[in-house]
A and B are shown apart, each in its own frame.
Chain A
């Protein structure tokens, strides 16, 4: 007697859509909330900071390396410009470049990873070997090599950081996709003749979003560090631009005199990277929890 089976799922209403479920679970953790707060704080500073800057970032307001005064609340930098103003102006470039580079890396990496996992043929080997070649360099070394002849062009920085991000994203995507590719619903889609593109986008991609989100926040954290590092080394924005990484290097020698020129941007970068990292970790734990304990 095949009577109607009704789902006997009594109890509290629970979230149905898998992605919303993930975000909710992640939000429930303290670390995610702290991370979001930090990121919002720093992004806010970077984006609307300039509106509050008392001076323009290239204006000379006092003697070089002067201590805090009425004109310069945090003192002046190595050329006599207001540290506070330069700090408020200095976040945009790092943020913009990092986000752009991460986005490029994600797009390429995800595509390569999905295609490699789905092809299950020699294409997989070829793609992964290509990724290995890029991975054979520490990211910063590759960036330096690129900059060596052409010079520190911004588009080159973004492109190179994107290129170093892509293989790592590709590896993670491929790993997660290999699990999914073996599942029967992909077979089912192939059996009814669904096109390859539709299978990649409709069957594979939605099922790897959890690990991808985690990886994306990891990559963003790393990109910020890398781009700030390149700026610090002098290969990012060039003087007289206001940029946190550049500021740190410019004011290094004055550390013994007063620290604000270094401490402010250092703390800003630190908090930003910690923030993105906490969000990533929160997402990662939420994803693992869902896998283990079922949807509640």
Chain B
């Protein structure tokens, strides 16, 4: 990675953003700098305040928040304390923003040409419409989009997600700003498009010497793109360093745990989650915010928030025990557990499955087998048909043809046609824990629902079984009377898993159950599922788009694309020596921490 160590372009000191009215801090004491041509990755989980910091660089806050203190300087110009007119002049020209959701950020009523041109016009680029047109063509060429007039006249909804994001990039780079803030711009894009977009960002930054702040929760992506990385936790910046330093020799316990939670392609180590949740604004303890969840915490840590300590030319950390954390480098990471030996019987058999939405076909001619106590991973990008396939198997989606059988017994297509026993045997866990639990029911009622349907138990028995189920998924039994909105995302997902398990199924279908969760929570859930599978002798169909996850959990993998299974086989074989082009491409394009660290240069 080329890093031009030229002058510092952006300098932030003592930034504090608080809730308007109550004064509760969202983000405090944040300081960092970025040089020209450099990309600083700003990582953190949900609630860390990273997006808030990103927006603040443009002098903007979301509704209900205000910038209370701090200094933000871009070259000679100060961002804070400017008059509205001066600030407007800076936005787009000196500092610009690439939003997370390009589809929503483009005005559906205006053509993209108009939206691109107005940035130029607003900042006085080009003295005539003619000049601006030429410039527009250049902008589009730079981001590898067509620049013909037909394309320029399109409306945003007529572009694909990747194209929309490129338009967003073009708008941001149009006036050659000094600083660019990118807010998770590749969320929702498929892996290949994401790879292209990252390349484009890198190229633009290098070519124009722009200082970039790349906000993301995806550490693998950040490792691929950034020169330096800053880690945020609960509104504070806890560590800043070069990418190599942070990922290999982190000095802050949180950073270390975060890195350990990232799934690796090689699958050498077990995934480790971080128990507990990050404190929300207004609920933050005195002292270090991470102390309640930290292995290294001592009494000093609860007294005051650790000050910034300089550990090297480019390495800063805020931890009282950073010395001990560094020497713990040699701490052994748990190796990935051995997977159980496969059986010879067949649990689930799918033959010639074709699935439809209305009259459009989404899944073509799929054959799939899951043996008892075996985990099969179903991998593919969004739109590959994997969720549709999983739902057909679970009976949630009934519009399909083909044979599904459980232990040789034919299974009717829709769940309603299946008898009680079959419905019980195949259970499904949904992707979003925010949508799969009835907000008007308590946890106890949610888990009791399948119990009552499948077993006719007495009240006492229901209660006992519910408690057992909660214990099994390692969640405090006090949640039995709580409502879903009182639980965190990870906790809700555990409840959803408990609900599935209480039916005592023989096949569990998990549909992207970690995609909606933070990295640290993700690891814990995957670990839980693996453990449960072994304990309860479950057959497991694990659907995901994250290739790195499957090594720790699955024996077999089926890769899907465009509704078909393009490659299948043992996990080791497929990941280490893929046969099909699609699989090869998928492996190359997926950002990987190991690959990024192994690459030459830093």
Contact = CB atoms under 8 A, between A and B. Distances in A.
**Within 8 Å by CB, do A and B touch in the complex?**
yes
A207 B416 contact: no
Contacts of A10: 279, 283
B423 A192 contact: yes
Given A5-B490, A185-B436, A294-B485, A190 B528 contact: no
B436 A184 contact: yes
Interface in A233-270: none
Interface in B72-118: none
B339 interface: no
A295 B430 contact: no
Interface residues of A, number: 32
Contact of A6 (B276, B395, B415, B431): B276
Contacts of A9: 283, 486
Contact of B476 (A7, A194, A294): A7
Given A7-B486, A10-B283, A206-B440, A191 B527 contact: no
B14 interface: no
Contact of A5 (B334, B432, B476, B483): B476
B584 interface: no
Interface in B259-316: 272-273, 275-277, 279, 282-283, 292
A2 B474 contact: yes
Interface string B467-491: 0000000111001011101111011
B545 interface: no
Interface in A1-23: 1-11, 16-18
Interface core residue of A9, A18, A185, A207 (most chain B CB under 10 Å):
A185
A5 B475 contact: yes
Nearest to A206: B440
A7 B450 contact: no
A193 B453 contact: yes
A183 to B, nearest CB: 5
A141 interface: no
B134 interface: no
A1 B275 CA distance: 8
A210 to B, nearest CB: 10
B438 interface: yes
A192 B482 contact: no
Nearest to B284: A10
B436 A207 contact: no
Contact of B531 (A2, A188, A206, A207): A2
Contacts of B4: none
B548 interface: no
Interface core residue of A2, A3, A295 (most chain B CB under 10 Å):
A2
Contact of A191 (B396, B432, B474, B482): B396
B32 to A, nearest CB: 28
Contacts of A295: 485-486
A184 B439 CA distance: 11
Interface string A261-291: 0000000000000000000000000000000
A183 B439 CA distance: 11
A184 B435 contact: yes
A8 B394 CA distance: 34
Interface in A202-245: 202-203, 206-207, 209
Interface in A144-174: none
B474 A5 contact: yes
B454 interface: yes
A183 B432 CA distance: 9
B276 A192 contact: no
Interface in A172-199: 183-185, 187-194
B401 to A, nearest CB: 20
Contact of B440 (A2, A4, A18): A18
Contacts of B531: 2
B17 to A, nearest CB: 17
B282 A11 contact: yes
A193 B416 contact: yes
B558 interface: no
B233 interface: no
A247 to B, nearest CB: 45
A59 B475 CA distance: 73
Contacts of B273: 1-2
B491 A7 contact: yes
B394 A192 contact: no
A193 B415 CA distance: 6
B361 interface: no
A183 B475 contact: no
B16 interface: no
Contact of A185 (B418, B435, B490): B435
B527 A8 contact: no
Interface core residue of A17, A184, A190 (most chain B CB under 10 Å):
A184
A193 to B, nearest CB: 5
A8 to B, nearest CB: 5
B422 to A, nearest CB: 10
Nearest to B453: A192
Contact of A7 (B282, B395, B441, B488): B488
B428 interface: yes
Contacts of B436: 183-185, 187-188
A207 B277 CA distance: 28
A4 B415 contact: no
Given A2-B531, A193-B453, A207-B439, A7 B396 contact: no
Contact of B430 (A16, A187, A193, A194): A187
Nearest to B490: A5
B512 to A, nearest CB: 12
Contact of A192 (B272, B292, B450, B475): B450
B428 A188 contact: yes
B43 to A, nearest CB: 21
Given A7-B277, A8-B276, A191 B394 contact: yes
A259 to B, nearest CB: 47
A9 to B, nearest CB: 7
A190 B415 contact: yes
Contacts of A202: 438
B516 to A, nearest CB: 11
A294 B439 CA distance: 12
A16 B277 contact: no
Contacts of A206: 438, 440-441
B503 A190 contact: no
Contacts of B491: 5, 7
B40 interface: no
A11 to B, nearest CB: 5
A4 B275 contact: yes
Contacts of A207: 438-440
Contacts of A194: 449, 453
A191 B483 contact: no
A189 B474 contact: no
B388 to A, nearest CB: 13
Interface string B19-42: 000000000000000000000000
A16 B424 CA distance: 31
Nearest to A205: B440
Given A5-B276, A16-B483, A188 B430 contact: yes
B474 A185 contact: no
A8 B277 contact: yes
A209 B416 CA distance: 27
Nearest to A207: B440
30 contacts: A1-B524, A2-B275, A2-B524, A3-B275, A4-B475, A4-B476, A5-B490, A8-B277, A9-B283, A10-B283, A18-B439, A18-B440, A184-B435, A184-B436, A188-B428, A188-B430, A188-B499, A190-B396, A190-B416, A191-B394, A191-B396, A191-B423, A192-B450, A193-B418, A194-B453, A206-B441, A207-B439, A207-B440, A294-B485, A295-B486
Given A7-B488, A194-B449, 19 more contacts: A2-B474, A2-B528, A3-B474, A5-B275, A7-B482, A7-B486, A8-B283, A9-B486, A10-B283, A11-B283, A18-B485, A183-B435, A184-B436, A187-B436, A191-B394, A191-B396, A192-B423, A192-B454, A207-B440
Please list the 7 inter-chain residue pairs (A to B) with the smallest Cβ-Cβ separation, ordered nearest first.
A206-B440, A184-B436, A3-B275, A184-B430, A184-B435, A185-B438, A2-B528
